[in-house]
């Protein structure tokens, strides 16, 4: 085993430069069984030597270099060296982990490369998908002294060995397998050392985790060679030289990399090169990486070194979307992005592209294409200078915001105190302390009063930052110049990105408005001077909801509302059927996506993750329904992370359900209901509800509580909001009683008409519930309160139409049997009215002038509009300052499932338009 670990302090022995060592022979994988290579780690870190075959693939003298330095590397060109041509003849392609995730996919990649018609191709390849994670896990296990690293390493070996058997045969297979085994043996030894030490240095880790790329690059190049194409693979640790910068980043040394590339190419003058992504070396030839997801960056550096025509990043999505398509299913593909926009998107978490990818290619104006390996017909996204290909098609929908991205697992640090104002150097002292602990500041926001500086850092770095600040500012804290260094954990950043934001007013307003409407609290805000991004910090649990809310707000997706329907009885059921019939039209023509996530009755409920299929909600409720639980129901409908807005529609007449409204509104759940119980219940509770609704962005609509689908509450609101003064509201509010008195004519008796109404289903099962007048009284109180009167239900005198002796009747049947006993009284009353040219009508009155209300049987002249009614119509007359002589009258059918459900439905659409649906 060629492994030994030793600690040495000085003098520093630079490693062998086997990476850059001389070879003139044509490259062939593992033409030598193995090669010993020495690596040394810097500054007192353990220095190790190991033999590794996968850094090979070429005939190299087996001499072990122990003291070669960078300056020893000969760059003088020998006579037969081939000059590296640069420029448009090169295209660079990068294939991400999923593109090479299986043997079939590797074959597919080989086909794409072979069929690509560039003169010369440089292909950067990632490790097979999941392999880098597996490699990091090996390190984690070994340093945690978990000996399952051994079997985990075997799994890595097995995965690559199986893939190679699928792809290769003969010598190519044998030499790859020999390299693979050799590498795995070395890794085993190395992990064993880490296991013993219980610790892995960064260099050890980088060395181990980069193997996935070494293996995938070798396999891919062998497959291409198998197809008769001249092809070499490049271990980019021989070429790419980078300087670590501290905060988990590296800076490429372009000059040195270029020198090494020239040399490498002179020895491997191939038209197709398969290069490892992700890995590189330090100037001291220590293997390192470009950090997680760094293969995109590798490709960009290569593009810049070759001055390539284009860099194509092949991945598993069609391109850059307006938001992460895993989080926002309605995200749209962006056909073009400026370099700046792409940078901002990737910096703020769009991991389709590594943020460092942009700069190397931007300098040379090299466009980047993002393409989907699984959908070759899609043109993908092009990232380039905006002037070159400013988008003419409709894909950006003219939105000033191109896209949104999020970063999770952040904490905010807030340094606060009056002693900061005007003191020069405070910010530099704060960020100096942060830099000292190597933390990465992602966003900074400072109020202009200078009383507080607030910034976001990765959650895992926040303790160190807080401690550093506490100790740096101990004196200022003791003296009270600083009041606190506060940490707010569990935060996420949401960024809106777009070049056009700079010249478009109102973008921030729309963004914040969308967040407010989704009831999301913003913790901090920053907008770069370039105005290419606006960044907000929100609670982590709100992040996806926030993303969805802002995304739909900028018309990139439909206005989506999660709905919960409570009470699927006559009215609720009719509403569900209406929703079913109208859903497609709403979606296609009005951009409104209503998703019923749950339906609950008093005994069973039906929940869905994506939206219930309304064409069979009755069957589903019966077959798949679970035991009803209102808390669980609410949690389910509101708790989904992908729909920004929730509405609960209470179609019951239940005061228990109504008692939840306050809590729902407080949680940001909108409420729509025909249930009169909340608005006609105790005054203080009603006032609390309205106060809460007014100060939040949560909506509470109840048009169908009065007059079913007739626009009564909205008419009243319209009058009040435009400054009219309500004097009196008088109306026939009960469809049942309207029907009864409209039909109580000629020779008919009162009991006969009631029986007919009951028969036709116009009354409640017990007609006394209608005749008692309580339902009308509740409507009167709702309108009275809407008009500003502070009345309780008990303040409304109600004339009951139930004859006193029958109030105690045991049942509805008993009542109906006895009702004819009173027909005489009714007929007498009607006759008296008729003789005076009048009719009887049962009305509710809001007397706003005297702050009173009542419900009673009144007489109206035959010419009066109330006398002209037919069927079960409602009629409501608003007498106001503007409509004083001639009241404003609303008339129409005021009862029945269809019109009531229609009233609820129109409240739902009103909610959608308040939430941003186009009108």
Active site residues: 779
Nearer to Mg ion, 96 or 287 (CB): 96
- Interactions with ligand ADP, residue window 96-125 (CB under 6 A): 96-98
Sheet holding 670-672, edge to edge: 626-627, 604-607, 592-600, 559-566, 645-650, 670-672, 700-701
SS3 18: coil
**Closest distance of CB 277 from ligand ASP, Å:** 6
Residue nearer to Mg ion on the CB measure, 316 or 450? 316
Pick from 293, 542, 593, 775: which binds ligand ASP (CB under 6 A)? 293
Locate 654 and state its tokens.
């239940």
Quick one: which of 259, 292, 580, 864 contacts ligand ASP (CB under 6 A)?
292
Q: How far is the CB of 315 from ligand ADP (least distance, A)?
A: 3
What is d(CA 767, CA 755) in angstroms, rounded to the nearest whole number?
Answer: 9
Site for ligand ASP in 187-216 (CB under 6 A): 212
β-bridge mates for residue 405, sequence order: 495
> Can you say whether the dihedral through the CA atoms of 621, 627, 628, 630 is positive or negative?
negative
Binding mask 87-116 for Mg ion (x = CB under 5 A): ---------x--------------------
Site for ligand ADP in 384-403 (CB under 6 A): 403
The packing angle between helices 897-914 and 570-590, to 10°, is 40
Burial level of 325, CB count in 10 A (0-12/13-18/19+)?
A: middle
Q: Hey, which residues between 9 and 38 contact ligand ADP (CB under 6 A)?
A: none
Among 127, 366, 465, 757, binds ligand ASP (CB under 6 A): 127
Closer Cβ to ligand ASP, 16 or 126, answer by number: 126
277 binds ligand ASP (CB under 6 A): yes
Give the residue with the Cβ less far from Mg ion, 14 or 124: 124
Can residue 408 be called a binding residue for ligand ADP (CB under 6 A)?
Answer: no
Query: Which residue number, 78 or 329, has a Cβ lying nearer to ligand ADP?
Result: 329
d(CA 514, CA 150): 52
Residue 126 CB, shortest distance to ligand ADP, in Å, is 6
235 near ligand ASP (CB under 6 A): no
CA 572 vs CA 175, 230, 360, 681: distances in Å: 71, 71, 60, 22
Written as one string, the DSSP assignment of 744-803 is --TT--HHHHHHHHHHTT-S-SSTHHHHT-HHHHHHHHHHHHHTT----GGGS-B---S-
Q: Which of 278, 473, 733, 739 binds ligand ASP (CB under 6 A)?
A: 278
Please report, as residue ranges, which positions from 264 to 323 form the binding site for ligand ADP (by CB under 6 A). 293, 315-317, 320-321, 323
Residue of closest CB approach to ligand ADP: 96
Nearer to ligand ASP, 126 or 175 (CB): 126
CB nearer to ligand ASP: pick between 356 and 677: 356
CA 340, CA 384: separation in Å to the nearest integer? 9
Give min distance, CB of 321 to ligand ADP, in A: 4
Nearer to ligand ASP, 139 or 612 (CB): 139
Question: CB of 296: closest distance to Mg ion in angstroms?
Answer: 6
Closest to ligand ADP by CB, 182 vs 492, is 492
* 324 touches Mg ion by CB under 5 A: no
Cβ 166 to ligand ADP, closest distance in Å? 21
How far apart are CB 127 and ligand ASP at their closest, in Å? 4
DSSP label of 321: B
Omega before residue 564 within 30° of 0, cis: no
Q: What is the DSSP letter of 558?
A: -
What's the min distance (Å) between Cβ of 96 and ligand ASP? 6
- Residue 326 binds ligand ADP (CB under 6 A): yes
Distances (CA, A) of 522 to 237, 366, 446, 517, 597: 45, 38, 15, 12, 27
CB of 116 to ligand ADP, least distance (A): 18
Q: Which listed option, Mg ion, ligand ASP, ligand ADP, none, makes contact with residue 350 (CB within 5 to 8 Å by class)? A: ligand ADP
Find the binder of ligand ADP among 20, 299, 352, 816 (CB under 6 A): 352
Which residue's CB is nearer to ligand ASP, number 297 or number 455?
Answer: 297
In the complex, what is the shortest distance from the CB of residue 372 to ligand ADP, in angstroms, rounded to a whole number? 10
126 binds ligand ASP (CB under 6 A): yes
Which residues inside 533-552 make contact with ligand ASP, applying CB under 6 A? none
CB of 495 to ligand ADP, least distance (A): 11
Query: For the chain, what percentages of helix, strand and coil (3-state, to nearest 5) are there?
Result: 40, 20, 35
Q: How far is the CB of 670 from Mg ion (least distance, A)?
A: 39
User: Binders of ligand ADP among 72-101, rule CB under 6 A?
Assistant: 96-98
Options 308, 350, 430, 917; binder of ligand ADP; rule CB under 6 A: 350
Residue 406 DSSP SS3: strand
Size of the site for Mg ion (CB under 5 A): 2
The strand pair at 559-566 and 645-650 is best described as: parallel
Stretch 274-303 residues interacting with Mg ion (CB under 5 A)? 293
Contacts 24+ apart (CB under 8 A), 188-192: 188/150, 188/153, 189/1, 189/3, 189/50, 190/3, 190/48, 190/50, 191/138, 191/139, 191/142, 191/149, 191/150, 191/153, 192/142
* Stretch near ligand ASP under the rule CB under 6 A, chosen from 289-297, 390-398, 446-454, 713-721: 289-297
Q: Which one, 317 or 368, has the nearer CB to ligand ADP?
A: 317
Among 46, 294, 303, 894, binds ligand ASP (CB under 6 A): 294
Q: How many other β-carbons are positioned within 10 Å of the β-carbon of residue 82?
A: 13
Alpha-carbon distance 745 to 869, whole Å?
Answer: 13
Whole-angstrom Cα distance, residue 97 to residue 731?
A: 71
User: C-alpha 777: how far from its chain's center?
Assistant: 46
Collect all residues with Cβ–Cβ distance below 8 Å to 741 and sequence separation of at least 6.
839, 840, 841, 842
Q: Is the CB of residue 531 less than 8 Å from the CB of residue 501?
A: yes
Find which of ligand ASP, ligand ADP, Mg ion, none residue 292 binds, CB within 5 to 8 Å per kind. ligand ASP
- CA 603 – CA 223 distance, rounded (Å): 63
Give residue 388's Cα distance to chain centre: 32
Is 351 a binding residue for ligand ADP by CB under 6 A? The answer is yes
Which ranges in 47-102 belong to alpha helices (H)? none
- Which one, 132 or 312, has the nearer CB to ligand ASP? 132
When CB distances to Mg ion are compared, the closest residue is 293
Distance CA 690, CA 65 (A): 81
Residue listed under structure tokens 């009831």: 519
Distance of alpha carbon 332 from the chain centroid: 14
Segment interacting with ligand ASP (CB under 6 A) among 287-295, 310-318, 574-582, 726-734: 287-295
Q: Please count the residues of this chain forming the interface with ligand ASP, following the rule CB under 6 A.
A: 12
Give the binding site for ligand ASP (CB under 6 A).
96-97, 126-127, 132, 212, 277-278, 292-295
Residues that bind ligand ADP (CB under 6 A): 96-98, 126, 293, 315-317, 320-321, 323-326, 350-352, 403
Q: Which residues bind Mg ion (CB under 5 A)?
A: 96, 293
């Amino acid at each position: 085993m060629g492994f030994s670990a030793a600690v040495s302090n000085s003098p520093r022995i630079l490693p062998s430069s086997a990476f850059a060592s001389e070879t003139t022979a044509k490259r062939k994988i593992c033409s030598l069984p193995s090669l010993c290579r020495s690596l040394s780690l810097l500054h007192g870190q353990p220095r190790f030597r190991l033999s590794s075959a996968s850094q090979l693939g070429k005939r190299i003298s087996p001499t072990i270099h122990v003291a070669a330095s960078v300056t020893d590397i000969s760059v003088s060109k020998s006579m037969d060296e081939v000059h590296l041509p640069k420029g448009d003849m090169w295209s660079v392609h990068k294939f991400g982990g999923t593109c090479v995730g299986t043997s079939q996919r590797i074959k597919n990649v080989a086909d794409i490369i072979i069929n690509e018609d560039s003169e010369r191709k440089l292909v950067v390849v990632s490790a097979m998908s999941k392999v880098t994670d597996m490699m990091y896990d090996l390190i984690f296990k070994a340093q945690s002294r978990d000996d399952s690293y051994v079997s985990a390493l075997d799994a890595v070996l097995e995965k690559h060995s199986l893939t190679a058997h699928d792809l290769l045969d003969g010598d190519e297979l044998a030499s790859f397998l020999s390299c693979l085994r050799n590498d795995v043996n070395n890794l085993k030894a190395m992990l064993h050392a880490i296991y013993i030490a219980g610790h892995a240095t960064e260099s050890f880790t980088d060395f181990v985790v980069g193997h996935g790329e070494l293996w995938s690059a070798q396999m891919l190049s062998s497959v291409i060679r198998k197809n008769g194409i001249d092809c070499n693979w490049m271990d980019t640790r021989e070429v790419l030289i980078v300087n670590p910068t501290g905060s988990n980043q590296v800076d490429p040394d372009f000059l040195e990399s270029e020198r090494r590339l020239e040399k490498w190419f002179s020895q491997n003058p191939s038209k197709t090169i398969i290069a490892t992504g992700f890995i590189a070396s330090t100037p001291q030839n220590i293997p390192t990486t470009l950090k997680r997801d760094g293969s995109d960056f590798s490709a960009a550096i290569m593009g810049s070194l070759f001055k390539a025509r284009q860099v194509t990043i092949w991945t598993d999505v069609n391109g850059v979307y307006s938001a992460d398509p895993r989080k926002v299913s309605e995200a749209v593909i962006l056909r073009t992005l400026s370099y700046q926009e792409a940078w901002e998107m990737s910096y703020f978490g769009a991991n389709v592209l590594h943020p460092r990818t942009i700069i190397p290619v931007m300098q040379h104006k090299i466009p980047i294409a993002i393409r989907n390996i699984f959908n070759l017909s899609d043109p993908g996204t092009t990232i380039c200078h905006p002037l070159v290909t400013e988008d003419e098609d409709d894909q950006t929908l003219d939105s000033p915001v191109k896209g949104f991205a999020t970063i999770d697992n952040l904490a905010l640090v807030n340094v606060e105190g009056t002693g900061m104002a005007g003191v020069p150097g405070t910010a530099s002292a704060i960020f100096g302390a942060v830099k000292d602990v190597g933390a990465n500041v992602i966003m900074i926001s400072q109020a202009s009063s200078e009383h507080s500086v607030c910034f976001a850092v990765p959650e895992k770095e926040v303790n160190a930052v807080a401690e550093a600040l506490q100790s740096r500012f101990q004196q200022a804290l003791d003296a009270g110049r600083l009041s606190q260094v506060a940490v707010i954990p569990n935060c996420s950043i949401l960024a809106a990105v777009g070049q056009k934001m700079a010249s478009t007013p109102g973008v921030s307003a729309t963004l914040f408005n969308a967040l407010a409407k989704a009831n999301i609290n913003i913790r901090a805000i920053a907008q770069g001077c370039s105005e290419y991004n606006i960044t907000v910090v929100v609670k982590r649990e709100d992040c996806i909801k926030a993303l969805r809310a802002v995304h739909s707000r900028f018309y990139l997706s439909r206005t989506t509302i999660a709905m919960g329907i409570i009470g699927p009885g006559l009215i609720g059921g009719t509403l569900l059927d209406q929703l079913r019939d109208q859903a497609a039209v709403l979606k296609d023509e009005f951009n409104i996506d209503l998703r019923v996530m749950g339906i609950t009755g008093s005994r069973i409920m039906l929940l869905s993750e994506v939206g219930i299929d309304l064409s069979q909600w009755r069957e589903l409720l019966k077959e798949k329904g679970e035991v009803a639980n209102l808390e669980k129901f609410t949690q389910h409908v509101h708790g989904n992370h992908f729909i920004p807005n929730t509405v609960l529609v209470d179609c019951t007449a239940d005061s228990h359900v109504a008692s939840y409204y306050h809590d729902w509104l407080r949680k940001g759940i909108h409420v729509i209901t025909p249930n009169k119980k909340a608005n006609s219940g105790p005054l203080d509770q009603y006032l609390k509800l309205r106060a809460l609704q007014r100060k939040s962005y949560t909506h509470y609509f109840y048009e169908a509580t009065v007059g079913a689908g007739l626009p009564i509450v909205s008419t009243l609101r319209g009058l009040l909001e435009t400054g009219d003064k309500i004097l009196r509201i008088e109306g026939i509010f009960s469809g049942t009683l309207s029907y009864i008195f409209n039909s109580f004519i000629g020779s008919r008796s009162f009991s006969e008409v009631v029986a007919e109404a009951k028969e036709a289903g116009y009354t409640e099962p017990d007609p006394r519930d209608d005749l008692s007048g309580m339902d009308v009284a509740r409507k009167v109180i709702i309108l009275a309160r809407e008009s500003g009167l502070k009345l309780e239900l008990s303040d409304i005198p109600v004339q009951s139409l139930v004859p006193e002796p029958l109030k105690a009747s045991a049942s509805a049947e008993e009542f109906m049997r006895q009702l004819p006993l009173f027909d005489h009284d009714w007929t007498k009353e009607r006759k008296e009215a008729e003789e005076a040219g009048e009719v009887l009508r049962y009305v509710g009155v809001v007397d706003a002038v005297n702050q009173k209300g009542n419900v009673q049987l009144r007489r109206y002249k035959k010419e009066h509009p109330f006398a002209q009614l037919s069927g079960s119509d409602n009629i409501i007359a608003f007498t106001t300052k503007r409509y004083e002589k001639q009241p404003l009258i609303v008339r129409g059918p005021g009862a029945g499932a269809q019109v009531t459900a229609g009233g609820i439905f129109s409240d739902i659409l009103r909610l959608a338009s308040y939430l941003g649906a186009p009108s």
